[in-house]
Amino acid sequence: MSMAPELEQLDKLLSAGQLPKDAAQMGARLLQRINSPVRVAIFGLPQSGKSSLLNFLAAEQLVPENVSIPTLELLWGENESMALTLQDGTTQNSNTIALAKAAEQNPAFVTGLRAARILLCGAPASFRQSNKTCGHACPTQ
C-alpha cells in the first residue's frame, strides 16, 4: 500500500534520524497508528441491520442480503480465504469468501480473511430460545 506524500516524507525523516527526539517519537507513533488495521465489532439482534452496516462501512456488499450467518469474523489477510466451523465442531476451509454458499451449511461460526478485521455477532432466535445458560442478555423473542 502506498502512503500519502506527507507520510512518505515523515517516514524518510524518521529513517534518516533528522527529527528531534520528541518529534521522532510522535511521528513514529503516528505512522504506527495509520498503518495499523482498524478493528470494528458489530453486535445486535437478528434482522437489526448489522450486515447492512457492515456493507456500508466496507463500501461493498460483503454480506449478501437475506443471508443469515450467526457469527462472522473478517480478519486482515493477504489472500482471501474462509473457514466455516459447523454445528458439529468440524471445520471446512475455502480459498474464497462465499457467504451465501456458506450459509447453506448452517455454520456456527465463519472466519474470513480480507484486508479488514470485523466481528459481526448475531445469535439466531432458535439458539437464544434453546440455550438458557449462554450467560448473555439475549432476549427470547
Residue 12 is assigned to a structural domain of this protein: yes
Residue 89 is assigned to a structural domain of this protein: yes
Shared-domain flag, residues 52 and 84: yes
**pLDDT greater than 90 at residue 118:** no
Shared-domain flag, residues 125 and 101: yes
Shared-domain flag, residues 58 and 118: yes
**Predicted TM-score (pTM) of this structure:** 0.54
Shared-domain flag, residues 44 and 90: yes
Q: Choose between 117 and 22: higher pLDDT.
A: 22
Shared-domain flag, residues 55 and 14: no
Domain housing 20? 5-35
Using pLDDT thresholds of 50, 70 and 90, give the confidence band for residue 95: confident
Shared-domain flag, residues 16 and 44: no
Residues in the chain: 141
The pLDDT tens digits of the residues spanning 68-83 come to: 887 888 777 777 888 9
Q: Which residue's entry shows cell 462501512?
A: 57
Shared-domain flag, residues 31 and 43: no
Residue 22 is assigned to a structural domain of this protein: yes
Strand arrangement, sheet containing 81-86: 39-43, 117-121, 71-76, 107-114, 81-86, 91-94
β-bridge mates for residue 39, sequence order: 117
